[in-house]
Structure 1
Amino acid sequence: MTDTTEAAEGTDTLTRLEQEGEIAADYLEGLLDIADLDGDIDMDVEGERALVSIISDAHTRDLQKLVGHDGEVLEALQELTRLAVHRETGDRSRLMLDIAGHRARKREELTELGTKAVEEAKSAGEPVKLRPMTPFERKVVHDAVAAEGLRSESEGEEPNRCVVVLP
């Protein structure tokens, strides 16, 4: 593949992800209007994924309703938003939704959890099995473990699938 072809594919991917973000933003703005909630929509592209965030300085407590207990409502809204994008584009979306910084905070906590599990696995010389997690949570922990130089794997069936850190 030539550099020109790779650059064109990169531009096509970026354009597609930006389009996903625009469609998601329109969908979420409509949802905020229906729910009579204030929030600003922020869009970005990270790697192979469109990132859309709903943020608000004044009404963060109101936005917590859209996060729900341990992010359950957020997960459902992300799936609905992905479906809205799929309906418009015909393509499956890997879009990531964050509301009121919930995922960003969760990512920090999970990275710390992964780092502690690595330390425990190294000191004990035995695998460390963590609590059941969502796919998003497991991905963050796997990335943290890899960054620390160890391997991890997922085991079990949803919704009880968990990460095991290997020494």
Structure 2
Amino acid sequence: MPVGTGDVPPAPGNQSGPEVRPSEYGDDTVTDTSTPRAEQPLDDEAPTEAAPVEGEREENGAETAPSKAAGEGDLFRQSEIAADYVEGLLDILDYDGDIDELVSGGRPMVEVVGGRLQNLVGQRGATLEALQELARLAVFRQTGSPSRLLLDVGGYRATRRKELAAVARNAVEKVKEHGDLVRLEPMSAFERKCVHDVVNAIDGVESESEGVEPNRRIVVRAAD
């Protein structure tokens, strides 16, 4: 069953819910809400025009010093709120899936496992990213605080990380062999973060993002 905007329950406190408009390219969904930009949940994997919030991790892996880390209980509460939201979505779609809420790496997580869930992932994770933003908004509506919630369905993110690690290593090999920079195909913020993490762990090369969504991509080059 395709997942459309009419299938997604509105986040608590927002009767109409945000409008999710998938773009022509995979992960670059655009979420329109009436919430002012400064009040929307922060995406620690995506670059922003504003200065990074303390304690958040930028796309290229740099991290600022946290001013006050959220407690384990607060993070788990965020995962519970998001899990309830996702459970409501599965009920509407009549999908069966096991939902686990947990805290890993200092961030709340919700994992959905089960058959017939591919429609919740979408092409290159486009639907998954949209649902993650809706779940983060649900958390924000109840707690009043932005969330770094990570949503995964059917182990998609773990599989995609492995694929992107191979892409990153291949780009590094080309740079070291020929010396020329390598431009990768446009990627989502999540995908770019995965590539940056791999490249930044290898001596002699560096990476940066260029362009604007939905055509923002990574450039890998020899380090200065």
The count of residues paired between Structure 1 and Structure 2 equals 154
Which of 155, 162, 169 matches 1:101?
155
Distance 1:166 1:94 in 2: 30
Q: Deviations over 1:2-29 (max 9, x none)?
A: xxxxxxx66x432221111111111111
Instruction: Give the aligned partner of residue 82 of structure 1.
Output: 136
Distance 1:123 1:78 in 2: 39
Shift of 1:42: 1.8
The question of 1:152 aligning with 2:207 is answered yes
Instruction: Give the aligned partner of residue 73 of structure 2.
Output: 15
Structure 1: state its 5+ residue gaps: 1-8
2:207 aligned counterpart, secondary structure = strand
Q: How large is the Cα RMSD of the aligned pairs?
A: 1.3
Distance 1:42 1:155 in 2: 36
Distance 2:75 2:103 in 1: 7
Task: Please state which structure has a larger fraction of its residues in helix.
Answer: 1
Distance 2:72 2:221 in 1: 36
Instruction: Give the aligned partner of residue 3 of structure 1.
Output: none
Instruction: Give the aligned partner of residue 103 of structure 2.
Output: 45
Matched-pair identity in %: 54
TM-score in terms of structure 2 length:
0.66
Distance 2:200 2:101 in 1: 28
Instruction: Give the aligned partner of residue 62 of structure 2.
Output: none
TM-score in terms of structure 1 length:
0.87
Instruction: Give the aligned partner of residue 146 of structure 2.
Output: 92
More contact order relative to length (CA 8 Å, sep ≥ 6): 2
The question of 1:36 aligning with 2:90 is answered no
Structure 2: state its 5+ residue gaps: 1-67
Q: Deviations over 1:58-103 (max 9, x none)?
A: x2xx201111122111111111101101101111111111111111
Shift of 1:34: 1.1
Which of 125, 146, 150 matches 1:71?
125
Runs of 4+ in 1 over 4 A off after TM superposition: none
Shift of 1:127: 1.2
Q: Deviations over 1:88-138 (max 9, x none)?
A: 111111111111111111111011111111111111112111001000000
Distance 2:160 2:117 in 1: 16
Shift of 1:43: 2.5
Shift of 1:157: 0.7
Counterpart residue identity of residue 149, structure 2: L
The question of 1:111 aligning with 2:169 is answered no
1:132 aligned counterpart, secondary structure = coil
Counterpart residue identity of residue 127, structure 1: L
1:105 aligned counterpart, secondary structure = helix
